Structure 1
């Protein structure tokens, strides 16, 4: 791609001719930070698994509802783990529309996502972007980006939206959650969404869909509702507990449809006492 075709928000060290998972997600979410090569990959995956776009949109809708819920309870600090590109309906836009002083740290391992994020967020002194592996909780929490922006004497919301289903059991996702839980002060929250199902309702078609996703996007792990509840050890679950994504604090009838009770994914929030 010629330099003249590179938009101002696209960092010069990012190869615009190669697809990026972060930009594919941006495309699926209706964002503008993607290119033809990303859209081609996104359309191929959606052609094989058409329901995937609805799944992605529901995780994003949960993020928006969770941030609004937290803002209504006075939370003004957010640690968004596995954030991707801060595209449509992102955390800092929602939070700073309510309180311009709200602080957000975005964390992602993908250098493309981080480069785009830093370019987009230039000049916003209440937002920081950190490139590292969220599994390294100690590294995240000790980073200058986190320590310089977030006040650990005040409640912090840790966001793990559509994150832990990319962390295999061998990497101890429960231990990762616990490391962040132990570091944040009382009154803090954890908001989490995850691909999953109720015990006893497994559908073999879900394996086929996961296989297509694994080949086209990234390896993922389904977990049961009971396994997700275990991630909230040490937190008081907010009602209604671990719920199907569309059924967690819907804001309008449009958030819920006839398939919501069988949605392949859950959302939940817990408060650290």
Structure 2
């Protein structure tokens, strides 16, 4: 055959070139038409075929007119689809497990905060304690919490990071200040439970609810609301500062979609 003689393209090749060229000039290429697609069962050319959803599922797929095979547009083998489904299930399970442990253990830590900080000892007012063996000793008097720089820093430096991290784990809800309010209420309840535990354990005759204890609870509530309300603008600023523009926009759009439900809709398509 002479070298200057062109080989006539096949019918399938002509159809493929026409479809790709038309899609390139008209606009965005439809999902599943980036490359020529063939039926996994009989080899029939499916490129350009209508994309349908059958009555048994909502997966977008090709319907082979030659053999009737239903082929998802992602062209993955069934085994690969099962593996990806299991990996996704394991990932979701790990996320749920992490969140449950995060909130349970840190709320228990707030119980410990209430247990340790709700009462103090007044070493200037000693009391005489008599033991069952007949002896006696001097012990400091138990008193309610007194407000000072130490417990202010302890509660505020624990409440702000806790509210910030908790807010980022609860992106499904939009209002950060409301999440901070709920977190602050839960934290205050845990602190009160810890204080009552200390009173019951040490058999203290008076309760922990003094003026300074109430001030600490109010400070903790305010810190939780501030952390929950300020973390999202701060996070957006850090993302735009350290990530490229396109990557930052994609990440923030995905995180915003968690509250609107668009992420689940995109997964089903």
What TM-score, normalized to structure 2?
A: 0.21
Q: Which has the higher strand share?
A: 1
- Counting helix residues as a fraction of each chain, which structure ranks higher? 2
Structure whose CA Rg is larger: 2
